[in-house]
Structure 1
Amino acid sequence: MEREPRRVPSTLGGLVYLVVVGVSAVGMLLVAFGPWRRGVSLIGFALLAAAAMRAVLSEHEAGMLRVRRYRWIDVGMLAGVGVALVVLSSVIPDQPG
């Protein structure tokens, strides 16, 4: 008897990962076709949410958020890039034209 392939993520971290990818895709569309600052900020906040979830989820439940062996390296890198994107999107001055 064949088993049906799984259609949902097997862990909460996998679900969070898919949400972060979806929010980042929306952010990229905003960068391309709309207010780019909001798009970059949206991507940054999605990465900060991923960092928070990686910090609180167990190793088994982290799923696709678990990239490296040590949790705090993942958290630090996700949070660092997230903070950098949010800060940069708010401090870059408007360009004429």
Structure 2
Amino acid sequence: MTVPEPSEHPESPEPSETKPPESVEPTSAEPVDPEDPRRYPSTIGGMFYLLVLGVVAVAMLIVALDEWRTGIRLMGGALVFAAAVRLVLRRRDAGMLAVRHKVLDALILAVLGGALIFLAGSIPDQPGF
């Protein structure tokens, strides 16, 4: 059995480059007005995201300094705060706090934060530590 050459199949098109349609104007993500530069973070949710990230970083430092219960509670509180902010803000304004649907995002953050707070309070002290 011989394998047919590609030229023997007239119905299979030749590979070609994909070109954008000429009727669509190219657009840029840069600001239209150079006098109005882009803000960083560009959404209020981005600011809250950075705030939560900063609090978690401080909490990790507190954990490293041997106050693990306080650090974990602070981290859990930051996640619960992020859940509340995610519920309040619209998707457009939520920035990086918006990953999935609003209720699902808030539920995941609240459950994780609540679990951290609960576990920090329920784990007994170990002798010798």
Could you say which residue in structure 1 is the equivalent of 2:112? 81
Change beyond 3 A, Cα 1:6–1:95: farther
Using the TM superposition, give the Cα deviation of residue 33 of structure 1 relative to its aligned residue in structure 2, in angstroms.
1.2
Could you say which residue in structure 2 is the equivalent of 1:18? 50
Query: 1:38 and 2:63 equivalent?
Result: no
Over 3 Å off, 4+ runs: 2-7
Give the AA of the match of 1:39.
G
Provide the C-alpha distance between the structure 2 equivalents of 1:17 and 1:76, rounded to a whole number of angstroms.
16
Instruction: Select the structure with the greater relative contact order (CA < 8 A; seq sep ≥ 6).
Output: 1
Unaligned runs of 5+ in 1: none
Map 1:44-55 onto structure 2 (within 5 A). Answer: 44-55=76-87
Q: What TM-score, normalized to structure 2?
A: 0.69
Give the AA of the match of 1:81.
L
Provide the C-alpha distance between the structure 1 equivalents of 2:58 and 2:94, rounded to a whole number of angstroms.
23
Matched residues, number:
96
Give the AA of the match of 2:58.
V
Using the TM superposition, give the Cα deviation of residue 34 of structure 1 relative to its aligned residue in structure 2, in angstroms.
3.0
Could you say which residue in structure 1 is the equivalent of 2:41? 9
Could you say which residue in structure 1 is the equivalent of 2:61? 29
Q: What TM-score, normalized to structure 1?
A: 0.91
Structure with max Cα Rg: 2
Query: Identity of counterpart residues, as a percentage?
Result: 54
Structure with greater proportional helix content: 1
* Equivalent position SS for 1:96: coil
Provide the C-alpha distance between the structure 2 equivalents of 1:3 and 1:77, rounded to a whole number of angstroms.
40
